[in-house]
């Protein structure tokens, strides 16, 4: 694991000194976007401002230009403005530290909320992205059809002491070894424990 690159949101967290607002915004940018694009776009955006107040002084086109070419950048620019307004009007400009409050922010789903809670506040949560969903099912540890179903299944089955680090482990594992198509099973240190559910071809 140590030889693989830290996921983009983790990099932004480290660079910001664990600022929950930076984690939240970079996570919103990361949805359906490659890590390298997320990282660069996040840095460009945070050069223009570092707080909800500063972001609201930026026009939507300015935000769009800063975050391009992240996926759905038009929608994400408007979402960022909406989240900033909400943070200022309802949470005194601070990112809330509870899953329930984060989920009331428009555009913030369970993946983003769980990641902010675990990364920034070190509170129990299970962030399920495409890698966590795929690998948990591929291993045969859960049998689910959606990321939300996977999160709930993991909450029931996975010991709580592993919740926070589960995403940190499986994301780089899925990016580098347990690929969606043709995973590197011959290199995998846990291959003998894997049920290989859905794997039709591997290397």
Q: Catalytic site residue 111?
A: yes
pLDDT at 1 exceeding the cut of 90: no
**Is domain 8-121 annotated with CATH 3.30.750.24?**
no
Cα radius of gyration (the chain): 18
Distance CA 161, CA 58 (A): 41
Q: Determine the pLDDT at residue 11.
A: 94
Tell me which residue of 161, 105, 155, 159 sits closest to 127, measured CA to CA.
155
Q: Which of 34, 57, 129, 196 is catalytic?
A: 129
Q: What percent of the chain has pLDDT over 90?
A: 96
Q: What is the mean pLDDT of residues 180-193?
A: 95
Fold held by 130-193: Endonuclease Iii, domain 2 (1.10.1670)
Do 104 and 117 form a contact (C-beta atoms < 8 A)? Answer: no
Domain boundaries, the chain: 8-121, 130-193
Q: Catalytic site residue 2?
A: no
Q: Residue 80, CB half-sphere, CA atoms under 13 Å: how many?
A: 38
State pTM to two decimals: 0.92
Q: Determine the pLDDT at residue 2.
A: 81
pLDDT at 3 exceeding the cut of 90: no
Q: Which of 111, 123, 168, 196 is catalytic?
A: 111
pLDDT at 70 exceeding the cut of 90: yes
Q: Mean pLDDT in the chain?
A: 96
């Amino acid at each position: 694991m140590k030889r693989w690159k830290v996921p983009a949101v983790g990099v932004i967290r480290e660079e910001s000194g664990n600022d929950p607002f930076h984690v939240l915004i970079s996570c919103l940018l990361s949805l359906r976007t490659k890590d390298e694009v997320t990282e660069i776009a996040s840095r460009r955006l945070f050069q223009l401002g570092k707080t909800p107040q500063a972001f609201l002084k930026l026009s939507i086109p300015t935000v769009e230009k800063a975050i391009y070419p992240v996926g759905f950048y038009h929608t994400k620019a408007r979402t960022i403005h909406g989240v900033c307004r909400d943070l200022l009007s309802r949470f005194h400009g601070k990112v809330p530290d509870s899953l329930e409050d984060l989920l009331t922010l428009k555009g913030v789903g369970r993946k983003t909320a769980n990641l902010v809670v675990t990364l920034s506040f070190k509170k129990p949560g299970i962030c399920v992205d495409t890698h966590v969903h795929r690998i948990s099912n591929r291993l045969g540890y859960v049998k689910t059809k959606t990321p939300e179903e996977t999160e709930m299944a993991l909450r029931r089955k996975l010991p709580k002491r592993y919740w926070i680090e589960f995403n940190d482990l499986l994301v780089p594992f899925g990016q580098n070894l347990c690929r969606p198509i043709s995973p590197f099973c011959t290199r995998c240190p846990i291959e003998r424990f894997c049920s290989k559910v859905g794997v039709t071809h591997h290397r």
